[in-house]
Amino acid sequence: MITNSIQNIGSWTIRRVENTGRIFIFLFSGLLHIFTFPWQILKIIEHIWFIGTKSMVVIMLTGIFTGMVLGLQGYYTLIKFGSEGMLGSAVALTLIRELGPVLTGIMITARAGSAIAAEIGVMRISEQIDALETMNINPIRFIFSPRLVASVISFPFLTALFDVIGIVGGYITGSLLLGINGGIYIYRVKDSVVMADLTGGFVKSLVFAIVVTTVCCSQGYFTHLQTRGGFGAKGVSYSTTNAVVNSCVLILVFDYVITYLLL
């Protein structure tokens, strides 16, 4: 009984260490192959279209409603202290420092990350990745590197879009619906946001881009090595779920770590 428990803990630990090592090697190999010739410009553009451009609508929708709800909640909280004029600062700082990068990361994971994990998982189980190896094409370079570059380019832009739309959302609620002076709202936004806030949000979006792409691509790539969720189509669905859950959890973990380091 005790021996079995110790054995189980041991094998679980070994599996975790192996998985972590595999993902880090995957990441470093992907990073390295970004700089190997020939450049994969067309593929990068194609992935920017998929990860970035096609996520714009969902980011704008999420951004506007997040901003509007922040405006609403902020207004009724600040009015108790007679500080409703500070709504612009509250909305802008909350979005730029925290909610912008985090919600953008989570929404891209839901829209593009899951699709990436599923696509690569299917490539794995249908031997397409083996086919690349037999053609002497490095699968990590072919599959992961262009997506990594595309994410690193797309995430900051989408985060900026989320922030701007969110601030507009706050303006709609605060100024147009609840009657705060529009000039004051905009003045507070301009007055309170400093370069460090923007840099912090930018750094977070870059880190989230690397985390989400690495987790989603590696979950698909190593679908065949996981045994808990089943094989074939079930294995792909398990990898996809894992990719989304792990990405979202890691976004929140890294958000805390970066915030702690930046403050």
Partner 1 sequence: MKSPLIEFIDVKKSFGKNHVMQGVNLSIYEDQITVIIGKSGSGKSVLLKHIIGLMYQDSGSVLFRGEEISTMSRKTRELFKRNFSYMFQENALFDSMNIYENIALPLTETSLFSKQEIKKKVETRMEQLEIQGTSNKYPAQLSGGMKKRVALARALVTEPSIVLFDEPTTGLDPVRKNGVHAMIKSYQQMFGFTAVIVSHEIPDIFEISQRVAMLEKGKIIFQGTAKEIMDCDVNDVSSFINGQGDFREY
From the list 78, 123, 140, 180, which residue makes contact with partner 1 (rule: CB under 8 A)?
Answer: 123
37: left (phi over 0), alpha (psi -120 to 50) or beta: beta
Work out how close the CB of 130 gets to partner 1 at its nearest, in angstroms, rounded to a whole number. Answer: 5
Query: Between 135 and 164, how does the x/- string for binding to partner 1 read (CB under 8 A)?
Result: xxx----x----------------------
From the list 19, 128, 226, 241, which residue makes contact with partner 1 (rule: CB under 8 A)?
Answer: 128
From the list 119, 121, 154, 235, which residue makes contact with partner 1 (rule: CB under 8 A)?
Answer: 119
Task: Tell me if 3 contacts partner 1 by CB under 8 A.
Answer: no
Stretch that binds partner 1, among 58-66, 103-111, 127-135, 253-261 (CB under 8 A): 127-135
Residue 4 three-state SS? helix
Count of all residues that appear for the chain in the document = 263
Task: Tell me if 130 contacts partner 1 by CB under 8 A.
Answer: yes
What angle is formed at CA 231 by the lines to CA 226 and CA 233, rounded to 5 degrees? Answer: 120
Query: Which residue number, 18 or 127, has a Cβ lying nearer to partner 1?
Result: 127
212: left (phi over 0), alpha (psi -120 to 50) or beta: alpha
Work out how close the CB of 259 gets to partner 1 at its nearest, in angstroms, rounded to a whole number. Answer: 38
Query: Which residue number, 174 or 235, has a Cβ lying nearer to partner 1?
Result: 235
Of 253, 232, 204, which Cα lies nearest the Cα of 96? 204
What angle is formed at CA 108 by the lines to CA 107 and CA 109, rounded to 5 degrees? Answer: 90
Q: How many residues bind partner 1 (CB under 8 A)?
A: 14
Task: Tell me if 127 contacts partner 1 by CB under 8 A.
Answer: yes
Task: Using CB atoms within 10 Å of the CB of residue 158, give its burial: 0 to 12 exposed, 13 to 18 middle, 19+ buried.
Answer: buried
Work out how close the CB of 145 gets to partner 1 at its nearest, in angstroms, rounded to a whole number. Answer: 13
Task: Tell me if 122 contacts partner 1 by CB under 8 A.
Answer: yes
- DSSP secondary structure code for residue 39 in this structure: P
Task: Tell me if 134 contacts partner 1 by CB under 8 A.
Answer: yes
**Residue environment code for 53-69, b if the CB has 16+ CB neighbours within 10 A, otherwise e:** eebeebbbebbbebbbe
Name the site residues for partner 1 (rule: CB under 8 A): 119, 122-123, 126-128, 130-131, 133-137, 142
